Amino acid sequence: MSRIADAFENGKAFIAYLMAGDPDLETAAELIVEAQEAGADLIEIGIPFSDPIAEGEVIQQASIRALSAGTKLDGVFGMVASLKRRVRVPLVFMTYLNPVFVFGYERFFAKCREIGVCGIIIPDLPYEEQAEVKVVANQYGVELVTLIAPTSNQRIEAIAKNAEGFLYLVSSMGVTGMRQSITTDIRAVIRDIRAATGLQVAVGFGISSEEQVEKYSTIADGVIVGSAIVKLVGEYAKAAGPKVSEYIRRLKGVQRKA
Amino acid sequence: MNTGRYGQYGGQYVPETLMNTLHELEEAYEGCRKDPVFQSELAGLLNRYAGRPSLLYFAKNLTDKTGGAKIYLKREDLNHTGSHKINNVLGQALLAKGMGKTRLIAETGAGQHGVATATAAALLGMACEVFMGKEDTERQALNVYRMRLLGAKVHAVTSGTMTLKDAVNETMREWSSRVDDTHYVLGSVMGPHPFPMIVRDFQSVIGKEIRTQLQKEEGRLPDAVVACVGGGSNAIGAFYDFIGEPSVRLIGCEAAGKGVDTEQHAATIAKGSTGVLHGMKSLFCQDEFGQIMPVYSISAGLDYPGIGPEHANLHETGRAEYIPVTDDEAVEAFNYLSRTEGIIPAIESAHAVYHAVKLAGTMTKDQVVVICLSGRGDKDVAAVARYQGEDIHE
């Protein structure tokens, strides 16, 4: 099974987010392969949730599309399992705590190990509440990725020291979604993180343009692009493959030169 | 710091962006709790602006007709803005102002909490924006206009099921984008710590007054305190002072909508299971994969798929009982209290009235039941008329 660290081994990492079940599970599976072939170094697979409080409009809509298409957790596991021979890059889940909690931590993470998912990102699980999840995830070889926000300030040190996988640095206040400009002093936050840990830092929330990918690939170890990709899936549905591929290829190209 | 656990329930399940803000809020609140200046300022507002203490009214007609325990009504409907919501809102608005915030945001279901927040913002000279499910803005149009009159901006939330749950999601999203000058005035004993504690403390004035007033009237404790439960703020407010009195039965009435054996209800305790939503671990109406289910009640204020974590724990430990009451039963009580006592209750409170009257009938004449009449029913008149087949326009 690939490890999260593999994603950072060939220079800066390009992390792509796709929603499982959007527009349906079969298409989502093909999009994951397309994303890998286009140069994504790690892929976050969103498990749709009815109440995604950290998401902006674009990913909220994708959740609704996926749930309306009948996507259920067992279907997501089946879809990811079907990719085992085709996907080399590390895969992590991104979802909210409730679907994991209700399925049962033991069952959930045992399933992750079985299908080759090596990490999980849970935006509504802050550092203080992680223990109950982390201990079980780690038993099954799944790393719990923690987020750091522009408001984390004096919390950074404790979070970073206990982090694993990579650190997900939230670029801006608010929810996910494309932004014209990011006003947080990312450089300063990364400096604080680096003082506490040697773990890689990837910047996400609001990143969509070539300029942003170039800028944040220079100062961080990777960038995370979600809403911009999901928006293409929303527009082109089953025909989104070439569009997603072309978009990631272009941004990964920019990143390679950065 | 305390992470606000009630047994296994509670906690702080929110995005990292909000964590520092929650810690600052907790710290500021702990300061205010011990600060005599804050406490006297709040007491002054509650007494001279909101009209506290609210009456504890002996409902003689209701009692005579029922022929059982004496029934008292705790008249939260007589508070300024027409419900118990003002108790919490004045406390949080003062707290926020003390923290240097200039803008209040809030979710609202029936509109009572939104109106109370808009009122406090107007009084204290703060900006106010209220998030309300689009469906609720339609069934509570009068309250939308009241909020606008008070200077608040009302956002009709079109995500998800377009009701209270989605209004909470949207208010949380808004707060996470702007914490510097903004306080989220959460309206119930729910959400991440410290909200369930703060809201409970500000609402506990209800139970403290019940104790004092009943002591004066009857020289004793009540045998039962009955309140409706959505998130559960008026109920916890009425219960809290009596939790340590084992002789007092504490009974919460949740919305059973068209019945707990249908799919159209909001009966979290009867039908829900443990989960995590809106910052708290508690009981929720959800499916086997943890997707939150659409809930239904005639009452917009009880139309919520979860319940506050302290209630979940009071249920689990058996200290409080929770009873589902249907739309039909609530409307029956709405009509009955109006005709018997000349008091039109909020449709939310009517859920408690229905069960309390039934219960009083099984009790003896020397016993006492107190109903928390959490709000007045003016806002529900058109909806109840429609429910009974009369299309009237507000």
Model confidence, pTM: 0.97
Q: H/E/C letters for each residue in chain A?
A: CCCHHHHHCCCCEEEEEEECCCCCHHHHHHHHHHHHHHCCCEEEEECCCCCCCCCCHHHHHHHHHHHHCCCCHHHHHHHHHCCCCCCCCCEEEECCHHHHHHHCHHHHHHHHHHHCCCEEECCCCCHHHCHHHHHHHHHCCCEEEEEECCCCHHHHHHHHHCCCCCEEEECCCCCCCCCCCCCCCHHHHHHHHHHHCCCCEEEECCCCCHHHHHHHHHHCCEEEECHHHHHHHHHHHHHCHHHHHHHHHHHHHHHHHC
CB atoms within 10 A of CB B210: 26
How far apart are the C-alpha atoms of B275 and B69, rounded to whole Å?
38
Contacts of B179 in chain A (CB under 8 A): 151, 173
Q: Cα-flanking dihedrals φ and ψ of residue A205, to 5°?
A: 80, 105
By the 8 A CB rule, do A40 and A6 touch? no
What kind of architecture, by CATH, is found in domain B53-82+204-387? 3-Layer(aba) Sandwich (3.40)
Mean pLDDT of B167-171: 97
CA nearest to B268, candidates B291, B286, B284: B284
pLDDT of residue B140: 84
Contacts of A73 in chain B (CB under 8 A): 289-290
Q: Does A76 touch chain B (CB under 8 A)?
A: no
How distant is the Cα of A147 from the closest Cα of chain B, in angstroms?
Answer: 7
Task: Provide the residue ranges of all domains of chain A, joining segments of one domain with +.
Answer: 4-257
B279-284 and A13-19 as β-strands: parallel, antiparallel, unpaired? Answer: unpaired
Q: Both tokens of residue A215?
A: 């800028």
Task: Provide the residue ranges of all domains of chain B, joining segments of one domain with +.
Answer: 5-47+85-199, 53-82+204-387
Q: Is the pLDDT at B31 greater than 50, yes or no?
A: yes
Q: Which of A178-187, A218-227, B163-172, B381-390 has the lowest mean pLDDT?
A: A178-187
Is A1 exposed, middle or buried, given 0-12, 13-18 or 19+ CB atoms closer than 10 A? middle
Euclidean distance between the first and the last CA atom of chain B, given in angstroms as a whole number: 49
How distant is the Cα of B276 from the closest Cα of chain A, in angstroms?
Answer: 5
Q: Is the pLDDT at B393 greater than 80, yes or no?
A: no
- Percentage of chain B modeled with pLDDT above 90: 93
pLDDT in tens, B354-363: 999 999 999 9
Euclidean distance between the first and the last CA atom of chain A, given in angstroms as a whole number: 29
CA distances from A27 to A77, A81, B135, B217 (A): 15, 15, 34, 70
What kind of architecture, by CATH, is found in domain B5-47+85-199? 3-Layer(aba) Sandwich (3.40)
How far apart are the C-alpha atoms of B37 and B269, rounded to whole Å?
39
Mean pLDDT of A243-258: 97
pLDDT of residue B180: 95
CA nearest to A17, candidates A66, A50, A51: A66
Cβ neighbors of B310 (< 8 A, separation 6 or more) are B6, B9, B10, B189, B196, B200, B232, B236
Mean pLDDT of B2-16: 93
Do the Cβ atoms of A174 and B160 come within 8 Å?
A: no
Averaged confidence pLDDT in chain A: 96
pLDDT confidence tier of residue A178, bands split at 50, 70 and 90? confident
pLDDT in tens, A131-161: 999 999 999 999 999 999 999 999 999 999 9
pLDDT confidence tier of residue A181, bands split at 50, 70 and 90? confident
pLDDT confidence tier of residue A103, bands split at 50, 70 and 90? very high
Q: Is the pLDDT at A202 greater than 80, yes or no?
A: yes
pLDDT in tens, A107-126: 999 999 999 999 999 999 99
Q: Please name the member of A129, A146, A151 whose beta carbon is closest to the beta carbon of B11.
A: A129
pLDDT confidence tier of residue B1, bands split at 50, 70 and 90? very low
pLDDT confidence tier of residue A41, bands split at 50, 70 and 90? very high
What kind of architecture, by CATH, is found in domain A4-257? Alpha-Beta Barrel (3.20)
Contacts of A53 in chain B (CB under 8 A): 14-15, 169, 172-173, 176, 278
Do the Cβ atoms of B279 and A124 come within 8 Å?
A: yes
Do the Cβ atoms of A170 and B178 come within 8 Å?
A: no
| Residues of chain B contacting A, Cβ within 8 Å | 3, 11-21, 159-160, 165-166, 169, 172-173, 176-179, 273-279, 281, 284, 286, 288-292
Mean pLDDT of A60-77: 97
pLDDT of residue B162: 87
Q: Is the pLDDT at A255 greater than 90, yes or no?
A: yes
Q: Does A51 touch chain B (CB under 8 A)?
A: yes
Contacts of B169 in chain A (CB under 8 A): 51-53
How far apart are the C-alpha atoms of B199 and B235, rounded to whole Å?
11
- Percentage of chain A modeled with pLDDT above 90: 95
pLDDT of residue B394: 57
Of the two residues A19 and B109, the one the predictor is more confident about is A19
pLDDT of residue A1: 61
How far apart are the C-alpha atoms of B37 and B31, rounded to whole Å?
11
Contacts of A151 in chain B (CB under 8 A): 16-21, 179
Q: Is the pLDDT at B142 greater than 90, yes or no?
A: no
- Active-site positions of B? 85, 107, 374
Mean pLDDT of B271-279: 98
